Structure 1
Amino acid sequence: MSTHDNTPALVDDAQDRFANPGLPPHVPRRADVDESAANRASVQVVALFTLSALASIAFLVAYFVIDPELRGSIIGIGEVNLFHVVLGLTMGVSLLGIGLGAVHWAKTLMPDEEMVEQRHSLRSSDEDRQEVARQLSYGWRGSQLNRRTAILGSAGGALGLFALPLVVPVVAGLGPRPRDELYTTNWEPGLRLMIDPSGAPIRAADVTQGSVFHVMPEGWVGDEAFEVHGAEEAMASKSKDQVILVKLDPSIINSQKQRDWGYEGIVAYSKVCTHVGCPVALYEQQTHHLLCPCHQSTFDMTEDCKVIFGPAKRPLPQLPISVDDEGYLVAIDGFREPIGPSFFERERPGLLMEDES
């Protein structure tokens, strides 16, 4: 007799030898029989939930009270942004209090007695079970996988490795890890401001009231940039080094830093919007506003390019400029803060120069 013909007998024999043990007897917990223990557990749960609520309140207070630029040192970690540390700790305590409170509540106070819902038997008839077993056995033997194990192993390997062509392009497509591009540009002390795309230098004496120039650093504009630095570096420069130069009436400039970093009312600012990086290239001469065409962020040039409308959260960085011995506009230094869209940590030691006042 074949093996599958004995299946019903084996199942029936197993059912006879292994009776349903049923549920174990319920063991009362201390809180179930001692009211004072139940009260203590209740107080503990309330304390955990209260701790969570207090941590949530502390998170909100810290968000509005602590200076986002506040920094400090933590033993074993080093210099960190304390604003982010406090927010992380308070949020973590808030979530921990909720989790521990819920678990303690469930394990000490909620009913823990197991319940059984009686259901009808789902067992198929003996004829159906035998037919399914026969077909499975026939299919297994017909595939010869029981005799040719190499097929089974190679098929498993092929199916397992099939995922690699799907995963590798995604992972590789993420590109290299960010480098200093998040913080630095090609602007350096002494580089002339060159008109984009002609590459002509700009004399301060030739800049009239209300004039607007789109400029790039010397050596990084026009065909020269592609020939000297290559297409990739030239395009990268175009995306991060672009600057807008405007001459304002010095009497309407309200920021002393803006006057000090400009030259006789001529000021230069990064064109890379601090929202998502679109070029801020629209200047309104009557209002002295710079507009980003992508999402309508608006910056006031008389207030050090402060954001006055739109989703951008940070002013455009100013490029410190002066003139050289021949009267051409040059950069005093590079940008003293990262340009472009804001991200979680914008400061880097040594990038922001100390206040010279």
Structure 2
Amino acid sequence: MSDDTTTRVPAKTDDSVVKNPYSWPANEHQPPPRTTDLSERAAKRAARQVATMFLLSGVFVALFFVAFTYMSPTDTVEIPYLGEIGGQHVALGLTFGMAVFLIGAGTVHWAKKLMSNVEVVQPRHDFKSTPEDTQGALEVFEEGVEASTWKKHPVIRRTLLFAMALVPLPFIISLRDLWLTPPGVPNPDAMLQYTIWTKGQRLVRDITGEPVRAEEIPVGGLVNCNPEDLEAVEETEGNLNARAKAAIIVIRMEPDEIQSLQIPDGAWNGIIAFSKICTHVGCPISLYQQRTHELLCPCHQSTFDLSDSANVVFGPAGRHMPQLPITVDDEGYLIAQSDFLEPVGPSFWTITGEVGP
């Protein structure tokens, strides 16, 4: 605000301007009258247009709730140049976006067509320092330059500029990792689709690495497992990405307690294997309630019913825990039939469901 103490004078006489001794004076050059200023009919039409936009905003909010309630998170839609993405995500984004847009558009239309169109002038001083202040600032700056010996030692000045010019380069070069993939993987998206599980790989206990026999798992028991060749993979890759994606839990329940399976022939005698990585934001989970067959994520309370295809029964997770198809080999050890048939871990916007064995 201005610190000018000039007394404000009343605005020029105009029915649309509040006559107030503290009002700012009207500008000498006013814009031409609008159609809505000259015609009451046009003004009412503009008011109806604004009201329609506000009402449509409410309609889109209602459609948002319909999409959120009745659309399946697994529905997909094909978007040009973007590919196949979640249909519910598109519906929620469009409905909420239109609801907000229509409120903004209605408000702008209201301001342009119906609100007062009188331009006023706010008295204020020039935004400029006095010559004395300007001179004082220059003197302080020059003193700082002299004290830093910036001019006296040009070698420091040149090497500093050189170093500062190179400092941003590591950040630019590191952007390469956004598209860095292992050999044979076409793009980063494909890295999310598969794990290192392959047909015939034995399930081994986490930490100890001992193979798991089917007879060793009691009804109601849970075992944390990894693929047999995990250690070799870690030595090759030098990171824990493969371990994180391949981690699973193996549980056993009475066969007649199983309501449904994602892969009907992917379990063996009541023994089922699921990804250990929560489909919400990727937390590793193994809190299992054997009486209800529910798996609980302690981070955000997503709950999955392992007896019913590991479907979500509570919490923010958007889809079930992927099932790893398993069986037993000739020696009675649990082995994988294939990789997961869908991506593991948190859902992402290009997820399309099954990816094949």
Provide the TM-score with structure 2 as the length reference: 0.71
Q: Equivalents in 1 of 2:281, 2:250: separation in Å?
A: 21
Structure with more helix by fraction: 1
Distance change (3 Å), C-alpha of 1:241 and 1:111: same
**1:180 alignment counterpart:** 190
* Displacement after TM superposition at 1:187 (Å): 0.8
C-alpha separation between the residues in 2 aligned to 1:93 and 1:48? Answer: 10
* Structure 2 residue aligned with 1:323: 328
Q: Report the residue type matching 1:267 in the other structure.
A: I
Aligned to 2:12: none
Q: Tell me if the contact between 1:278 and 1:294 (Cα under 8 Å) persists in the aligned partners.
A: yes
The offset of 1:248, in angstroms, is: 1.4
Q: RCO (CA 8 Å, sep 6+): is it higher in 1 or 2?
A: 2
- AA partner of residue 340 (structure 2): F
Kept in 2: contact 1:289–1:298 (CA 8 A)? yes
1:295/1:311 contact within 8 Å kept: yes
Mapped pair 1:190 → 2:195: no
Query: Larger radius of gyration, structure 1 or 2?
Result: 1
Aligned to 2:355: 351
CA distance, structure 1, for counterparts of residue 140 and residue 119 of structure 2: 42
AA of the residue aligned to 1:197: I
Counterpart code for 2:279: T
CA distance in 2, matches of 1:136, 1:86: 57
Deviation at 1:327, TM superposition (A): 3.3
Name the structure 1 match of 2:71. Answer: 66
Contact 2:85 2:349 in 1 (8 A): no
Q: Give the CA deviation at 1:186.
A: 0.7
Evaluate the alpha carbon distance shift between residue 246 and residue 85 of structure 1 in structure 2; reply closer, same or farther with a 3 A threshold: closer
* Consecutive unaligned residues in structure 2, runs of 5 or more: 1-26, 180-187
Q: Could you say which residue in structure 1 is the equivalent of 2:210?
A: 200
1:245 to 224, 247, 250: 250
Post-superposition shift, 1:111?
Answer: 0.6
Supply the distance in 2 between the matched residues of 1:134 and 1:248 (Cα, whole angstroms). Answer: 85
**Whole-Å separation in 2 of the counterparts to 1:48 and 1:207:** 62
Identity across aligned pairs (percent)? 38
State the Cα deviation string for residues 222-258 of structure 1 (Å, max 9, x = none): xx4544x2432xx222212111212211121111546
Residue 20 of structure 2: aligned partner: none
Q: Is the 8 A contact 1:250 1:259 kept in 2?
A: no
Structure 2 counterparts to residues 156-305 of structure 1, below 5 A: 165=167, 169=171, 172=174, 176-177=178-179, 178-221=188-231, 224-227=232-235, 229-232=236-239, 235-257=240-262, 260-305=265-310
1:91 counterpart residue number = 96
> How many positions carry a matched residue from both structures?
317
Task: Give the Å deviation of 1:262.
Answer: 0.4
Shift of residue 173, structure 1, vs aligned partner: 8.6
Deviation of 1:156 (Å): 12
Give the distance between the partners of 1:40 and 1:156, measured in 2 at CA: 67
How does the TM-score come out when normalised to structure 1?
A: 0.71
Q: Does the 8 A contact of 1:258 with 1:267 survive in 2?
A: no
Give the aligned CA root-mean-square deviation in angstroms: 4.1
Unaligned runs of 5+ in 1: 1-21
Tell whether the 8 Å contact from 1:215 to 1:245 is kept in structure 2 after alignment.
yes
Aligned-partner residue type, residue 344 of structure 1: W
Secondary structure of the corresponding residue to residue 93 of structure 1: helix
